[in-house]
Chains A and B, each alone.
Chain A
Amino acid sequence: MSPTHFGAAYLEYPDLFPARRAGELWGPHRIVLALPGGPYGFAGLAEVQRDAVLDRLQAYTAEDSVEPAVTCHVFRAAPSDFVEIDTRGWEYSLEFDYGPRVVRVAGMSLMGLLEWTGSLEAALFSSVEDGERFYGAFENFLRILTAYRLVERGGALVHSAGVVDRGKAHLFPGRSGSGKSTLSRLSVEAGCTVLSDDLNAVTLRDGKTWVEKVPFSGDFKAQRDGASAYPLRAVFRLEKGEANALRALTRAESLAALFTCAPTVNVDPHRRDALLSNLEQMTEHLPSYALTFTRSRSVWDLVREHTG
């Protein structure tokens, strides 16, 4: 399907996309999530929605008394607002409309608004109450919210495998199919800890780059043991190849690799420059390599040889 304008793939009435963060809330419940860039507060949840989020993100919940840095209200949308989609053989991708002060998002059973009015605020409009389906819409929106908030805070959300070895993070950015999940599995076999095989938060603290755990994983279930943030030792851009090999990247190449793998914000013309600036700062003095690897845990012998 090739929509002619924003929202046409998912919405029956794209022109009726909510203009404001207002409407009927699903319920009285609230959750605060302690994620990088947050805390993030979600208000207006029905009980079953809150429970669905708690069921999956319990490890990231903060006390209700914690003041969120970003608040998202969850509003009802009518099922009739959304187009019925046959998902067989279909690749899901959200639709975005990027404005200087508002970003609109449309997807299956969801409409989302991010709005900058002094500070970032958000709204999620969902037509589903049941736990599993609601959580799908919720997590999709949370990923986007986290991506933008991290850029605001000088960081970025990067499609990558994040792996901890001897107390230091190693970041392996790569798009879908680049081998992040395979690399993650090999890392565990080599005695490392995997933060995520899909998305990792990269932040700057006192001039040093850190990798922070976020609850977004791909095929490989992330391990949750240990601390949530680790200093970044090096970046390894994943490339296809027939042998284990490493070559040094220039800082520009490292920045390009991270930028390419920073979803959503990297194609937002109003906030892309901020992302580039963040990555420019983070890549200063950061060892970076291009890594090709075979499906054997000996890749970690090579990585450790270069990282000491």
Chain B
Amino acid sequence: MRLCKDVRYRIIDGEAVVVRQDAGEVVVLNPVGARVLDLVRELDAVTRILDGMMREYDAPPESIERDVLGFLQELLDTRVIDVMESSESTDVA
């Protein structure tokens, strides 16, 4: 997974201000959402993103997995992130 090409964001007091240039939209993500976005940018595989969140947040793993996967789907649906072709991925998940 990766940020869509037209997306830029910056962290302000722990929240993410996300600009979707092509749609002319701006959304604000809470600190947890902002962290997921950072992990998408740093790591391209869902498994690694989940591992990262589970390391950082004290909650049952199944709860984190459900919430993060749901959030990633929302980011996909709203074209904040997209899925890389397998040849582009630097990690085989």
**Interface stretch of the complex, out of A117-125, A142-150, A162-170, A268-276:** A268-276
Q: Does B12 lie within 8 Å of A255, measured CB to CB? A: yes
Chain B contacts for A266, CB-based, 8 A: 24
Of A250, A260, A280, A283, the residue contacting B10 (CB under 8 A) is A280
The reply on B92 being an interface residue by CB < 8 A is no
Expressed in whole angstroms, the Cα–Cα distance for A267 and B6 within the complex equals 11
Q: Does B27 lie within 8 Å of A256, measured CB to CB? A: yes
Q: Determine how close the nearest CB of chain B comes to the CB of A23; give it in whole angstroms.
A: 33
Of B8, B12, B28, the residue contacting A272 (CB under 8 A) is B8
Q: Does A250 lie within 8 Å of B13, measured CB to CB? A: yes
Q: Determine how close the nearest CB of chain B comes to the CB of A126; give it in whole angstroms.
A: 28
* A-contacting residues, B6-49, CB 8 Å: 8, 10, 12-13, 15-17, 19, 21, 24, 26-28
Q: Determine how close the nearest CB of chain B comes to the CB of A81; give it in whole angstroms.
A: 29
Q: How many residues of B contact A (CB 8 A)?
A: 13
Tell me the dominant secondary structure on chain A's binding face. Answer: helix
Q: Does A252 lie within 8 Å of B8, measured CB to CB? A: no
Q: Which residue of B lies closest to A280 (CB)?
A: B12
- Closest 8 A/B residue pairs (Cβ): A252-B15, A252-B12, A256-B26, A252-B28, A252-B17, A251-B13, A256-B28, A260-B26
Chain B contacts for A272, CB-based, 8 A: 8, 19, 21
